[in-house]
Structure 1
Amino acid sequence: MATTNRITFLKNLIVKLQIKQPWDLIIIAIIAILLTVPSFLIAHQNLVNLNWNYHLDRIILFVLIALVYFFILKIIRKITVISILLYVIILFVGSLINGYGFNSIYNDYQAMLYSMTDNPYPQDIIINKLLPFPNKSKVIRAIDYSNPKVRNYALAAVNKNFTNIKGYNDYFTLIQCFAVFKEINKNWHYVSDPKGEDYIASASESLKYLSGDCDDHSILMAACVRAIGGTPRLIHTDGHIYPEILIGTQKDLENINYLIKKELFRRENKGKPLNYHIDEHGQIWLNLDYTARYPGGPFLHEVILGALTLE
């Protein structure tokens, strides 16, 4: 008897929650689109981009996913309201635990739409078969990221720049590293080494006057980035050394492209392309040279001879 009563109660609940025609189809269409947004973002980030004109491949993908959801929801239309509640609950829980929630969907979708009108992949130069890095031991010792002066300088830069940026939890550390980049490059003064000598200053030494040549700047930038959790590396060319920072995958680049151009360095960038390298593992590294006014600024276009990664 108890089992029969429960079944009857559930049936009555479903009938009460059921939405009458034609509103059920309208609501089903809305839910299908809401479900399509996160699903489409996942598919967009993981499927090969065919680069069709007017992004027709992505438009077709979105429509197909929406149709699949629509027909599935149409079949189970009796529990439409329950589907809405489950969808909202999942996103709400994701937002509470700093997982994939409402903000994540908004940020990812915003970045994807921006990338459709602004190409974030202007220079996919792959670095491989590199030569040994010159003065490697001296350079590594000079990158004294555990020195309290270096750490404190990085913290001061973080507390001075981009403190009003909300969301983008996945890129929290990168945003702080960009704050360090802004502070160093805004105040750096180029000074040559003594004539006939390759002087390598430690990061803590360069902090006193924020001056030096390209290797001094690269060492300071790498140390400060490393001190707050970023992954930097130094690129050695014929006559130049400059720093880069690890961004991640092409999906990460899409979001960083939006962040740099629309949130962090809008004035400095003004719609210019990001410059980066792709390593042998498919990971993307942005240029942080002292000549750049924004992360991913123009390269000096010199032949790359070696790379030194600090992990």
Structure 2
Amino acid sequence: MITIKPISFSKLKEKLSLPKPWDTIIIFLLNILITVPAFLIAHQNLIELNWVYNLDRIILFILILGIIQLILQLLKTIIILCIFIYILTLIYGTLFGNYGFQRVYEDYRYMIYAMSENPKPQDLIISKLLPFPNKSKIIDAVDFTNPKVRNFALYATTKHFKEIKKSNNRTLIQCFAVFKEIKNNWNYVNDPKGREYIAYASESLQHFSGDCDDHAILMAASIKAIGGTPRIIHTGGHMYPEMLIGNKNDLETAIYLIKEVLFKKESKNQQIHYHIDERGQTWLNLDYTANYPGGPFMKEEILGELTFN
């Protein structure tokens, strides 16, 4: 009969610990790996104090780093078990959840880039605006359910940026693909003299031609057709489309994608232009005069807005 001797707790800790100086090295590396996602979560959920040089975030990172270092030092006798649990958690998140190795890496890149850019909004849209001109006609013209509009938007997403790993930014990247396709083909043509002609989005697809309101309608319909949320801004003598990006963290992601991945050449040394509404949501400029999403505003005066939720 075979008998199994129970392993004492002290012997178990000895087996799960590492010899010096490897324990110190492994603890430091593990601390960095844990601190990055922990800091990202804190960064995304805590209010920024907007201190100079992002000192509030630097202090937050150091604080988290110190706390985790202290915890790992207390657990250093079972450090191998800690490493195993950490890797297992990320593997599970990669295979079945929303937060794994790729998400940690992407979020870290977006955060570092956005903190270095420190973007500022150009304007704050207030809720009390003037009535939107030709509102009912424009709503009808944004015929995003028309098969021609839907098929065009799908075509744009297969032509541009298909090779980019989309992860959780699929809709954002695909909307940027729509912007690129319309921008590359749009031909500005005035309305008939003395008459305001409002073309349906499906109509503008025939020649990719029209004035600013026709462009805004086509852009809004195409973005809406693939799951984005567009709106049209009225400035008095001009109309242009904007796209809902989301909160500050979503803006950080959008800025990184525009300036470092998708429109790197067009946006080099350029500023990203956007509005923040009364609910704190960010809207990116998609005017036909812009060479990249978030290009300069043609006119900053805002008299009305029409949102397509």
Supply the distance in 2 between the matched residues of 1:310 and 1:94 (Cα, whole angstroms): 34
What do you get for the CA RMSD once the two structures are aligned? 1.7
User: Which of residues 202, 205, 208 is equivalent to 2:206?
Assistant: 208
Report deviation, 1:5.
6.3
Structure 1, unmatched stretches of 5+, are none
- What CA distance in whole angstroms lies between the structure 1 residues aligned with 2:179 and 2:173? 10
Tell me the CA shift for residue 17 of structure 1: 1.4
1:197 alignment partner in structure 2: 195
Partner residue in 2 for 1:127: 126
- After TM superposition, give the deviation of residue 298 of structure 1 in Å: 0.5
SS of structure 2 residue aligned to 1:268: coil
**Secondary structure in 2 aligned to 1:277?**
strand
Q: Which residue number in structure 1 is paired with residue 294 of structure 2? A: 296
Q: Secondary structure at the match of 1:45?
A: helix
Give aligned-pair identity as a percent. Answer: 59
Superposition pairs of residues 1-311 of structure 1, within 5 angstroms: 8=7, 12-97=11-96, 99-167=98-166, 169-311=167-309
Q: Distance in 2 between matches of 1:66 and 1:233?
A: 42
How far residue 47 of structure 1 moved from its aligned partner, in angstroms, is: 2.4
**1:272-296 deviation per Cα after TM superposition (whole angstroms, max 9, x unaligned):** 1111111111110000111111010
Count of residues in correspondence between the two structures:
306
1:153-203, Cα deviation, whole Å (9 max, x unpaired): 111111000011114x22110100000000001110111111111111100
Counterpart of 1:286 in 2: which secondary structure?
strand
Q: Could you tell me how far apart the structure 2 residues matched to 1:193 and 1:133 are?
A: 19
How far apart in 2 are the matches of 1:124 and 1:257?
17
Are the aligned partners of 1:115 and 1:258 in contact in 2 as well (CA < 8 Å)?
Answer: yes
Could you tell me which amino acid in structure 1 is paired with residue 105 of structure 2? Y
Q: Tell me the TM-score normalized by structure 2.
A: 0.94
CA contact (8 A) 1:243 1:287 kept: yes
Partners of 2:123 and 2:61 lie apart in 1 by: 27
Shift of 1:132: 1.8
The CA distance in 1 between the partners of 2:163 and 2:97, in whole Å, is: 18
1:127 touches 1:277 (CA, 8 Å); kept in 2?
A: no
In 1, the alpha carbon distance for the partners of 2:79 and 2:22 equals 11
Q: Which letter maps to 2:176?
A: F
Shift of 1:220: 0.5
Task: Describe the superposition over 1:26-81 as per-residue Cα deviations: whole angstroms up to 9, x where unpaired.
Answer: 22222111110011111222223333343333222211111100111111222211
Normalising by the residue count of structure 1, what TM-score does the alignment of the two structures yield?
A: 0.93
Q: C-alpha displacement at 1:124, in angstroms?
A: 4.7
Q: Which amino acid aligns with 1:94?
A: G
Separation of aligned partners in 2, 1:235 and 1:248: 17
Contact 1:124 1:276 in 2 (8 A): yes
